A = this chain, B = another copy of it.
């Protein structure tokens, strides 16, 4: 834990010792040719140089919290506070590296259990202190930025102490986990009972159960295991007006599903302290493989066929031509030349990589499901790459954030964004977002690299995940990205004539946070924002919870 915080405050993701994954020389050369790099490195400023203002937490509040939690569980030192100064968006990382414009909480609170979380909220209401719930700190939308709102002080409520597996019901296959349990620990706690959650987002190494629930996370194997919201059977939530428990059955018609207010509440509608989750037997068999399809259009049609015939692999990811090209480029020149010959043989002019993965407790069942998937793909021209490509993806699937650290080091503006829409609008959405990003980031005749993959497929539509690489503006790196993000988000939320809704959703699994808030009303309407504000007033009348996130 402290290792993660240490590294975060130095401006990156990679835990010490985990290998910062410096870019290979050929990749750096290629990148430099494509987007133009000036050779200036941008290392992180040492924490000792950062300007950390004194804590504004009133002494009376601090003392009361220390009385409640213990002196060591109320931390006001610079290191602890810097470690919770925001999440891990590109802007967050740039701010940390530069040491400027950091929103630093006045204290870090470390409660030990749900009862203490509840008591902390009561103290903070009395002293009118803003509270930012903090799990893995992996938000890329400003969800854990220590904003004060109208309060004069703000604390980070770090849930790391809520790290227990409370119960496992092997008959119902429901496990109750505390909010602060990190995904790898959740998997190892459940594995001891023979179960898995099957939730593997790119933030897996750091993110927590509470964070997954609060942000409606979706993992890479969501086609097989479902989105995190689909796994939630019940929640225990601390709010300023008392503790709230929801979930007495797998499905209910007892009014609107209020669990869906807690799940997606982003810490603005309560602090999730425990989550009852559907678990599955830990798979013993896995098969990952890759295919190449010809062009985005055919690739998307293929994934749609899988989704609508309900034979999706547990992991199903389709990269567009640009993302495929970068993957081939980074995997080495020679190999990709050999591959090109094979592609030519299959008349594949625009290679799009499709990664498929199946997991099961039964080899026979896996074989059958794999056969059904491949049967549904048989009508599409493809080149099968076999297990190697799939396993390479599988073993690197959490490497993205580490690669970003390496790219930040060499002066690259690197960020991701995502959306989702129905199948009939998917390609138009991809083109529109791509065009907006390219237009906003090209300069001096150099275009950025904009890659896209389809990462989560449903019967009615799919999500799109964009990764952008551009030469970083030395003068205004944050403004540079913000303009691109604005343009992309405008393209996403642009009204479709006749449909009266945007082209796609503002976010499929990154959440709203502070960064998406300006666009939220375009998606849920003024009635939607009014309803959220009313719900907030009901559970948080004085507005201490995560000000400036999700709800204005």
**Chain B nearest Cβ from A432, distance in angstroms:** 14
Q: Are A173 and B537 touching (Cβ within 8 A)?
A: no
Of A245-253, A320-328, A351-359, the one touching chain B: A245-253
Name the residue in A504, A511, A523 with the highest tally of chain B Cβ atoms < 10 Å from its Cβ: A523
CB distance from A496 to the nearest CB of B (A): 9
What chain B residues lie within 8 Å of A459 (beta carbons)?
173, 250, 278, 280
Evaluate contact between A173 and B524: CB separation under 8 angstroms: no
With A252-B216, A253-B216: A233-B509 Cβ-Cβ less than 8 Å = no
A70 CA to B376 CA in the complex, in Å? 54
Tell whether A150 is near chain B: CB-to-CB under 8 Å. Answer: no
Neighbour of A254 across the interface among B169, B248, B255, B507, CB < 8 A: B507
Q: Which one of A5-13, A28-36, A102-110, A420-428 contacts B?
A: A420-428
Question: Any chain B CB within 8 A of the CB of A234?
Answer: yes
Q: Are A254 and B506 in contact (CB under 8 A)?
A: yes
Which B residues lie within 8 Å of A419 (CB)?
249
User: Is B532 within 8 A of A534, CB to CB?
Assistant: no
The reply to whether A532 and B246 contact each other, CB–CB distance below 8 Å, is: no
Looking at the assembled complex, report how far the CB atom of A421 sits from the nearest CB atom of chain B, in whole angstroms. Answer: 5
| Contact residues, A511-531 vs B (CB, 8 A) | 511-512, 516, 520, 523-528, 530-531
Are B253 and A500 interface neighbours, CB within 8 A? Answer: no
In the assembled complex, the Cα of A550 lies from the Cα of B254 at a distance in Å of 8
Distance A20 CA – B414 CA, assembled complex (angstroms): 70
CB-defined contacts of A215 to chain B, threshold 8 Å: 253
| Chain B residues closer than 8 Å to A512, beta-carbon distance | 253-255
With A254-B505, A501-B245, A511-B253 as known contacts, state yes or no: A531 contacts B527, CB within 8 Å: no
Q: Tell me if A420 and B251 are in contact (CB < 8 A).
A: yes
Given A233-B460, A530-B538: A502 and B173 within 8 A (CB)? Answer: no
- Residues of A232-262 at the interface with B, using a CB-CB cut-off of 8 Å, are 233-234, 239, 241-242, 244-258, 260-262
User: In chain A, residues 382-441, which have Cβ atoms closer than 8 Å to a Cβ of chain B?
Assistant: 419-425
Say whether A308 faces chain B, with CB atoms less than 8 Å apart: yes
Q: Mark A21-43, 1 if CB is under 8 A from B, else 0.
A: 00000000000000000000000
Asked if A171 is at the interface of the complex by the 8 Å CB criterion, the answer is yes
User: B424 touching A244 by the CB < 8 A rule?
Assistant: no
Give the distance in Å from the alpha carbon of A335 to the alpha carbon of B539 in the complex.
Answer: 61
Q: Which residue of B lies closest to A230 (CB)?
A: B251
B216 touches A550 (CB 8 A): no
Could you tell me if A251 and B463 are in contact, using CB atoms closer than 8 angstroms? yes
Asked if B460 and A239 sit within 8 Å, CB to CB, the answer is no
The 3 closest A-B pairs by CB, nearest first: A172-B422, A249-B505, A534-B538
A-B contacts, 22 listed (Cβ < 8 Å): A169-B424, A174-B460, A218-B251, A227-B251, A241-B530, A244-B525, A245-B525, A251-B420, A251-B463, A251-B509, A252-B420, A252-B506, A252-B508, A253-B264, A253-B511, A253-B512, A254-B523, A255-B512, A255-B532, A256-B532, A258-B531, A533-B538
